[in-house]
Chains A and B, each alone.
Chain A
Amino acid sequence: MRNDITRRDALALGLSAATFAATGAAAQTSSIKAADVAAPKREIEKGASLRMLRPVRFVQADEDVFRANAAKFTKDTGVEVKVDFVGWEDINQQTAVTANSGAGPDIIIGFSDAPHIYIDKLIELTDVADYVGKRYGGWLPLAQRYGKKNKSDAWIGLPFGATAGPLIYRKSILQSVGFDRVPEDHAGIVDLCQKLQKAGKPAGFALGNAKGDGNGFANWALWSHNAALLDEEGNVVINSKETIAALNWVKQLYPTFIPGTTSWNDVSNNRAYAAQEIALTANGVSLYFSLKNDPATRAIAEDTEHQLLPKGLAKVSPMAGLTLNAMVFKHSQYPNAAKAFLQYMLEKDQYEPWLNANSGYWAQPLGAYAEAAVWSQDPKVKLFKDTMNSTYYDGYAGPISTATGAVSADYVLIQMCASVATGAATPEAAAAEAEQRCKRYFRRQR
């Protein structure tokens, strides 16, 4: 899976970032503006102690700084915090067990939709969210979407960061076929891909059962044609003329891809790009870092550019980020301590060094942190700072629920695209089948 590779690739980076975090962060003068807002009054329970889970790091410095911040909190408040790092594949199951058994960690930082699934088992975090929102330039759109209850201003999750998969391409190869960057319109993209194929360095996007990259491509194809899985009320509207248009575009685009993309998983495009078999794909920042940190592929990294997914007919780049989303469980004996801890971690003295330590893997949920030093280190990583400015998310444009996660985990939309691309189904038939599968998943959501 993409996650494994990225973590492994990131180890090398970890060293340099760790030294940076240890030495640089403290000395650095912060450029983050914090508004003067009164912190919410709350009394931390006597003898409180906290347990929390969060996903494992991309880079070592992430874990180091996070632990250092937690230790600092313990020193300031006397509240012991035990942080456990859990594998990405396991965090959903552990959250489910915690929620259902009403025992276990007080806080879990899960992924995007988790607080919406376990909404009944969580306490509201509105006071914390309002305070840090006002203090640090407001919550960005994606953070608001994942943090707030649907159609409400009550916060059930506190986003800590997001990571997305924009386009990544070989600048010299694009220039050799007459393009400076990837066009923003669909016809232009097809034109570019045809020329790349003729030049022998085609594009390649995952159309196999790849949770991250495959869904990223399928969502991009749909959203850039203004098609969506759900309407705002949560009705399944995947079988639409916009979807048909998107599928016809995929059908046009697919012959220009490198052969075999229908069996690609999350690492396949990384390998093909690193082996210089393809000139254009979409991926998280991990691919760039792994190229840059390996002397054998540094030249490829230098010739590499990122670009937000082209808009097509959409108003903003239709790109959803995987979001770290913190939640506090009702069964916690120390809810005030838990809130205080999360609020503490989002304050700039803690959050800024942590954001910088992550080298761009995670992008901030709060507007003011866009000024953090991490975004001026490497110009090729800079565009990731806008990850949470997106208004698109998994399950757009409906309410977030268990079923939205299930649809992407079951590859419904990717398989719809792939079956049209390979000619196994007509766009109409593929959209109808996807609609049937989605309706099954959403049958209990309304």
Chain B
Amino acid sequence: MLRRFAPCDDGVVTFTDRTINQMSVTTLPPLALAHRQQSWLVRLFDYKPFLIVMCLAPAIGLLAVFLTYPLGLGLWLAFTDTTIGRKGVYVGLENFQYLLTDSLWWNAVFYSVVYTGIATFGKFALGFWLALLLNNHFPFKSLLRAIILLPWIVPTVLSALAFWWIYDPQFSIISYLLVDVLHWRTSNVDFLGSPWPARFSLIAANIWRGIPFVAISLLAGLQTISPSLYEAAMLDGASAWQRFRYITFPMMMPILAIVMTFSIIFTFTDFQLVYAITRGGPGNSTHLLATLAFQRGIAGGELGEGAAIAVSMIPFLVFATLFSYFGLARRKWQQGESND
């Protein structure tokens, strides 16, 4: 204060002088005392290795307790024959060997891949389209953008229950419309009673739920593209399709890669929709690996086998992640080189 105010004018100087005199009497000694007392603490906190340990400890602790330990335990369980209520022993690869002979596991692998593939394609096609629409100027833009997010905000179990009613064999709203209102059919639609209709019904529900996430993420990406690129392209006479193909799409590649990676992981590990709507039925035709793992591990009590099923998801997830990361994100032009 003194240094800042002193050169201004005399009045201020006198004022600050007085203030400083007062301070020297009342506040300086305790400050100095505190300084001397805390000095070892202060020095400790200035010591870099200590600071690093202190700042990392909570994060590492949380990761270890809530991620590493459960994951490690899950991996370990997969190699034991633990059941609920009984400690297991190490059985090596026995669980995995059994799964390879288990037609229900193969069925779950098959449906997980189909589910992820079709649902991701649907979500991205519709989500990208929606993002492009939302990127235009129109009235109530912000409000509409907020409404679009609703399916994503509603807890999955609630939307799953809604779909469960929509697909109900007796009380479906769609059947009601088709049979009683429009008279296009004479019998109710049997959405969940046989394997393929049930599989596609679940995929439709998953797409509905996933679109907002894709659309909003891609919308954020679209808004980072500089308008000058489009202006330059328009001056060169580029058509709307060319602007999309040569500006929007390449500029969106990095964010597409990230969003797709997340989307694939979310879809492949989906549990709630399937469990709430079909419980894997009819038969076991709509089990995903996650629901099958729960069914065997918790409901059936075979924790070891359930863990093995969960572990068997890891290679698929690693592959999907690497694919979208290397396949979509690592373009040379992004690193300043030309694309070959």
Contacts and interface: CB of A to CB of B under 8 A. Distances in A.
B87 to A, nearest CB: 8
B193 A259 contact: yes
A424 interface: yes
Contacts of A418: 281-283
- Which applies to chain A's interface (DSSP): helix, strand, loop or mixed? helix
Contacts of B278: 208-209, 263
A96 B281 contact: no
A424 B85 CA distance: 35
Contact size range, B: 35 or more
Given A100-B85, A406-B301, A410-B299, A260 B190 contact: yes
A422 B283 CA distance: 10
B310 interface: no
A259 B190 CA distance: 7
Interface in A203-243: 207-209
Contacts of B29: none
Contacts of A444: 81, 83
B193 A118 contact: no
Interface in B128-164: none
Interface in A256-303: 258-265, 268, 271-272, 275, 277
B194 A422 contact: yes
A263 B187 contact: no
B217 interface: no
Given A277-B170, A409-B299, A415-B283, A260 B188 contact: yes
B85 to A, nearest CB: 5
A246 to B, nearest CB: 18
A265 B160 CA distance: 15
Interface string B100-124: 0001100000000000000000000
A112 to B, nearest CB: 14
Contacts of B301: 402, 405-406, 409
A99 B85 CA distance: 7
Contacts of B85: 95-96, 99-100, 117-118, 402
Contact of B170 (A209, A275, A402, A415): A275
Residue among A99, A261, A265, A411 having the largest count of chain B Cβ atoms under 10 Å:
A411
- Which applies to chain B's interface (DSSP): helix, strand, loop or mixed? loop
Interface in B277-329: 278-284, 295-296, 299-302
A117 B191 CA distance: 39
Contacts of A93: 84
B221 interface: no
A111 B115 CA distance: 37
B198 interface: yes
A55 B281 CA distance: 28
Nearest to B87: A100
A197 interface: no
A419 interface: yes
Interface residues of A, number: 40
Nearest to B296: A410
Contacts of A410: 295-296, 299-300
A263 B165 CA distance: 12
A430 to B, nearest CB: 10
Contacts of B195: 424
Contact of B84 (A96, A260, A411): A96
Interface in A394-437: 402, 405-406, 409-411, 415, 418-419, 422, 424, 433, 437
B70 to A, nearest CB: 17
B300 A406 contact: yes
A328 B340 CA distance: 74
A441 interface: yes
B43 interface: no
Residue among B87, B283, B301 having the largest count of chain A Cβ atoms under 10 Å:
B283
A79 B193 CA distance: 55
Contact of A271 (B84, B98, B170, B300): B170
B170 A260 contact: yes
A440 interface: yes
A409 B296 CA distance: 9
Contacts of B192: 260, 262-263
A440 B98 contact: yes
Contacts of A277: 170
Contacts of A263: 167, 169, 190-193, 198, 278, 281-282
Contact of B300 (A208, A259, A268, A409): A409
B170 A441 contact: no
B15 interface: no
B77 to A, nearest CB: 14
B4 interface: no
B244 interface: no
A261 B191 CA distance: 11
A437 B280 CA distance: 16
Given A99-B85, A271-B171, A406 B302 contact: yes
B332 interface: no
A93 B282 CA distance: 27
Contacts of A415: 281, 283-284
A405 B298 CA distance: 12
Interface in A164-181: none
Contact of A275 (B87, B171, B187, B295): B171
B86 interface: yes
B143 to A, nearest CB: 37
A422 B192 CA distance: 13
A99 B300 CA distance: 18
B283 to A, nearest CB: 5
A271 B169 CA distance: 11
Nearest to A416: B283
Contacts of B187: 259
A406 B299 CA distance: 7
Nearest to A214: B281
Contacts of B98: 440
Contacts of A268: 168-170
Residue among A260, A419, A441, A444 having the largest count of chain B Cβ atoms under 10 Å:
A260
21 contacts: A99-B85, A118-B85, A208-B281, A209-B278, A258-B169, A260-B170, A260-B188, A261-B169, A262-B282, A263-B169, A263-B192, A263-B282, A277-B170, A402-B301, A405-B301, A409-B300, A410-B296, A418-B282, A422-B194, A433-B103, A437-B104
Given A262-B282, A268-B168, A410-B300, 5 more contacts: A260-B169, A268-B169, A277-B170, A410-B296, A422-B194
The 7 closest A-B pairs by CB, nearest first: A260-B169, A263-B192, A209-B279, A262-B282, A409-B299, A209-B281, A410-B300
